[in-house]
């Protein structure tokens, strides 16, 4: 785990009007899809806790942080970046058809979408909320259409809040004890206040082998490891 310097070079509003920031940093600090950073502004005396950041897009010079970002951050603000932290999405080389599902926010999946398109994958995104502008090659469908598409997909990537995990079987349209027809991984979104430094347990996730911590063992888990009904 390393600490890197960062600097806010641009602030924008995203497609929902939420503040987002482009952060310049060394390449080693840029989180992979599903990984996260802990960031704080040393000059901000009133900052109580570091901010958890995922990347929505990236370049060799830095990344755009998934919103929202603290309102106190301004262009030119210096940051201390801890990470990248946790486990991200891991797509095997033979994945050609990728299904993605967002139950709360599409933004944490957009970096994965960009990298999958670079690999020439066919993509379908399932979401019931507004989505950001995406390439025309990405098909967008409601979550209700996900069950009938699972047989098409080589892989399923989900972004799901921890509190919705117990209802996932219904969302996927699976009967009790029925298995998914394709491999799947899920980004379990929850608060991770200690970033793995204190084992505080606030981000505990139920798995088939007991409780695990999203900050250390996730936030991306193989779906068959989790207890989700």
Indicate the domain borders of the chain.
Answer: 2-85, 97-225
pTM: 0.92
- Cα–Cα distance between 38 and 26 in angstroms, integer? 15
Contacts 24+ apart (CB under 8 A), 196-201: 196/1, 196/85, 196/86
Among residues 228, 218, 201, 211, the alpha carbon closest in space to that of 86 is found at: 218
Q: In b/e form, how buried is each residue of 140-151, taking b as 16+ CB within 10 angstroms?
A: ebeeeebeebbe
At 34 the pLDDT is: 96
Q: Do domains 2-85 and 97-225 have the same CATH topology?
A: no
pLDDT tens digits, residue range 73-111?
999 999 999 999 999 999 989 999 999 999 989 999 999
At 7 the pLDDT is: 96
At 46 the pLDDT is: 57
Residue 229 pLDDT level (bands cut at 50, 70, 90): low
Among residues 110, 138, 103, 101, the alpha carbon closest in space to that of 33 is found at: 110
pLDDT greater at residue 24 or residue 175: 24
The matching CATH number, chosen from 2.20.25.90, 2.60.40.1530, 2.40.30.10, 1.10.287.130, for 2-85 is 2.40.30.10
Is the domain covering 97-225 a CATH 3.30.70 domain?
Answer: no
Element counts in the chain: helices (H) and strands (E): 3, 15
């Amino acid at each position: 785990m390393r600490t890197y310097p960062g600097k806010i070079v641009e602030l924008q509003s995203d497609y929902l009007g939420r503040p987002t920031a482009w952060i310049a940093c060394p390449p080693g600090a840029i989180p992979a899809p599903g990984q996260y950073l802990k960031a704080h502004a040393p000059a901000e005396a009133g900052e109580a806790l570091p901010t958890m950041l995922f990347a929505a897009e990236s370049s060799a010079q830095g990344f755009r942080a998934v919103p929202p970002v603290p309102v106190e951050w301004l262009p030119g603000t210096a940051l201390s970046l801890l990470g990248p932290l946790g486990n991200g999405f891991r797509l095997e080389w033979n994945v050609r058809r990728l299904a993605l599902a967002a139950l709360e926010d599409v933004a944490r999946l957009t970096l994965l979408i960009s990298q999958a398109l670079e690999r020439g994958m066919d993509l379908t995104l399932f979401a019931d909320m507004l989505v950001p502008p995406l390439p025309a090659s990405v098909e967008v469908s409601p979550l209700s259409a996900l069950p009938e598409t699972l047989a098409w997909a080589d892989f399923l990537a989900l972004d799901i809040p921890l509190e919705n995990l117990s209802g996932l079987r219904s969302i996927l349209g699976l009967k009790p004890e029925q298995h998914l027809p394709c491999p799947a991984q899920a980004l379990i979104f929850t608060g991770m206040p200690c970033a793995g430094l204190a084992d505080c347990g606030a981000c505990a996730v139920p798995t088939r082998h007991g409780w695990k911590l999203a900050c250390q063992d996730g936030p991306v888990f193989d779906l068959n490891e989790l207890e989700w009904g």
